[in-house]
Chain A
Amino acid sequence: MRPGSRKIVVVILVSASLVGACQWWPSSPPAWTEEEIGVLRSLWLVSLPELPPDPSNAVADNPLAAEFGRMLFFDTRLSANGAVSCATCHQPERGFTDGLQKAQAMGTTLRHTPGIAGMAYSPWQFWDGRRDSQWSQALAPLEDANEHGMTGEQVVAVIAENDEYRSRYESLFGALPDLAGANSAALNTAFANVGKSIAAFERTIMPTTTRFDEYVAAVVSGDTERQRQLFTDDEVWGLRLFTGKANCTQCHNGPLLTNFEFHNTGVISFPGDVPDKARATGVVEVLASEFNCRSQYSDDPLHRCAELEFVRTGAGLIGAFKTPSLRNLAAPFMHKGQLATLADVLKHYNDAPDAMIGHNEAKPLGLGSRELRQIEAFLATLSVAGAGPSATITEE
């Protein structure tokens, strides 16, 4: 080798190792551009619009109904074995979920307990959107043999037999039907009113401000010192990946970090179960539900049901689940708690395997292990240790 070419080889080797070191060595993230700040604002809890009204529930924003609903939410008498309340699975101290793969109540349910915070913003309830309001959602577990194991009539009887419940009910909705002689429509109306009270309580459950929200506030006000105090470089890089290369905000967007839509992301089936058809069956169920927006039990005299009217149906929805919020994340993850850790979830999206049924909408991301750890670090800033979502009932 001639001396000249040796020099060239050395220069190339040194440059290559420098480039390699730079990629490996943590570098400070650049400042946010105006456009990026716009994206951050869109994810900020401060940007959450006012809660949309629920015209199908006349007591949705009535504090007395919310208080009544809160009592019902924690009452185990609303179950066949006297041991299950809504809070058995939706535990306030665990972000209104339970830390289990599948919920355990009277029996084992089909899916993982979803959180409740901010779900009043969602047009669809349950993982498969098989109900279209919080009040109709609240009725389904009461009648599910694996959850509360009651009938609608038994639920109404619990209200009728308890003096305080009866009086609270009647001050909100008028006289309870006489159980002995009531027809099914009258019983269903009373049962629906129980759901509407529980929904009035659930509407008050909102996510709390987290370190991420404080960081966005610092970004918006241009306070770089405060930004450095709040976020490590890894968390900032994680946020950049989250809003950029990792495509997370395609579905996890808006201040609640969900678009409330249904997506098949090819999650593996739960041991012992067949793959879940999810929204493909959920949409059929919501359209047929006797308590849906179009039903006689809706309080909206105009029956404005745009979500049902323009809903997408069909085989394209096979295996599609509702995007969950990423605020106050609690393990395990996915619709049956199939993935134990956030690292597992991120690996799943990085690989984007073929779906067992239907088609995985996600594409492989090609992120490195360091990048995955940075996203994980960022996701932790969306939770507050020991301070989950809270219910605030405002007296009028």
Chain B
Amino acid sequence: MIVPRIAPRCLFFCFFAAFLPQVADAHGGVVEEDDLCVIKVSYLRAHFKVYQPGVSRHKQYCEDLPAAAESIFVMEYLHDSMSEMLIDFRIIRDVTGKGRFARIEDIDQIPDIDSATVYYQPPVVEPDVYLVNHEFREDGDFIGIVSATHPDTGKFHAAVFPFEVGYTGLGYWPFFLGLLVLIQLQYLLMSGKLKAWFARTPATVGSLMLCLMLYSPASIAENLVISYTTLDGPAQINRMHTWILHIETEAGVGVEGAIVTVGGGMPEHDHGLPTIPRVTEELGGGDYKLDGLRFHMGGYWEIIVTVTTDSGVSTVTIPLQL
């Protein structure tokens, strides 16, 4: 008898399938992914967060909001194509009676959506990030509806996310998370994996550092030597610079006909260059004119030059202290 053995497992999966994917995937909604709150408008995804700056300054909310107050909804697109789409945003009072389980079908069945609507932003193309500011006047259950339409194909996507305003409780989440942590910890302790991990750590860190050293840009400047001269005096902040890059092999032969691209930034500050400099002219003999170089603060900079020739790609880092 095979059937009875499969049935409970099937029931288990069917149970989860009935709840989770409907909200998250099939129709779009707000879900948490790796500590990020993400809104899924069909397959399109955006980082989703809500602020109540007048009440709680920079504190972020994922869905439920603590107070009836000015609320700023932010969608930072994770799909570039959303920058070209017509997106509209509607907030209605929950008249579906479905609460957390409200879906797009339930919205479609609302006879007069306008009378339930507390906020509507008509379709608009907003590059990079979509913003809505709505001041809630009362606590209650609400449903947010985001729809995105491709201007050329007319393809339509929607997300529905029920939420509560005047929400104070945390529900069962802390309990649930605590339980998960306990179970995981118990498993690690009992299986001895925790101990093994601690024993392995120095070796892991060591090999990681070795990898980093091997792949640091300075060490893969294997066969090219790059020097530069400035056309406008020594490098200084807050002005445009033009450099002449001289690229030669270790044997001292100028590299000609290479594709030279330049990037860089301040590694200690985790930011790039303020401009997009580029090689505007090859001057011959391994000399390349680099234009549009600018530095906007003092400190340690790295200019990373990537040289592509027939024989391969080399990257050389030029350190610069300003």
Interface residues of A (CB under 8 A from B): 39, 42, 249-251, 253-254, 259-262, 266, 268-269, 271-275, 277, 280-281, 284, 306-307, 309-312, 315-316, 318, 353-354, 356-358, 361
Contacts and interface: CB of A to CB of B under 8 A. Distances in A.
A306 B238 contact: no
A335 to B, nearest CB: 15
Nearest to A39: B298
Interface string B255-275: 000000000000001011111
A354 B237 contact: no
Given A280-B128, A310-B276, A310-B278, A250 B269 contact: yes
A310 B128 contact: no
Q: For the complex of A and B, list the 7 residue pairs with the smallest distance between their C-beta atoms, beginning with the closest.
A: A310-B292, A274-B131, A353-B58, A259-B296, A261-B296, A310-B275, A315-B128
A354 B240 CA distance: 31
A287 to B, nearest CB: 13
B72 A274 contact: yes
B54 to A, nearest CB: 6
Contacts of A310: 240, 275-278, 291-292, 294
B62 interface: no
A281 B128 CA distance: 10
Contact of B297 (A259, A281, A284): A259
Interface residues of B, number: 35
13 contacts: A39-B298, A249-B297, A250-B298, A253-B296, A254-B238, A259-B237, A261-B274, A262-B274, A269-B51, A275-B74, A310-B292, A356-B72, A361-B271
Contact of A357 (B70, B76, B273, B297): B76
Contacts, number: 99
Nearest to A38: B298
A250 B269 CA distance: 10
B227 interface: no
A273 B70 CA distance: 10
Contacts of A356: 51, 53, 58, 72, 74
B291 A268 contact: no
Given A274-B132, A306-B240, 13 more contacts: A250-B298, A253-B296, A261-B238, A261-B274, A268-B53, A268-B58, A269-B53, A271-B54, A275-B74, A310-B277, A318-B76, A358-B76, A361-B271
B72 A251 contact: no
A250 B129 contact: no
Which applies to chain A's interface (DSSP): helix, strand, loop or mixed?
A: loop
A44 B21 CA distance: 62
B186 interface: no
Residue from A268, A271, A356 with most neighbouring chain B CB atoms (10 Å): A356
Contact of B127 (A280, A316, A354, A358): A280
Contacts of B278: 310
B72 A260 contact: no
A251 B297 contact: yes
Contacts of A250: 269, 297-299
B58 A354 contact: yes
Interface string B39-59: 000000000000101100110
Contacts of B298: 39, 42, 249-250, 253
A318 B47 CA distance: 14
B236 to A, nearest CB: 9
A268 B131 CA distance: 14
Nearest to B270: A361
A275 B72 contact: yes
A342 B127 CA distance: 34
Nearest to B277: A310
B275 A357 contact: no
Nearest to B292: A310
Contact of B53 (A271, A318, A357): A271
B60 interface: yes
B51 A251 contact: no
Nearest to B240: A306
A390 B276 CA distance: 36
A355 to B, nearest CB: 8
Contacts of A253: 237-238, 296-298
A280 B272 CA distance: 16
A281 B129 CA distance: 11
Nearest to B241: A306
B133 interface: yes
B275 A318 contact: no
Given A268-B53, A269-B72, A275 B127 contact: no
Nearest to A317: B128
Contacts of A262: 274
Contacts of B127: 280-281, 284, 315
Contacts of A266: 58
Contacts of B276: 310-312
A307 to B, nearest CB: 7
Contacts of B271: 361
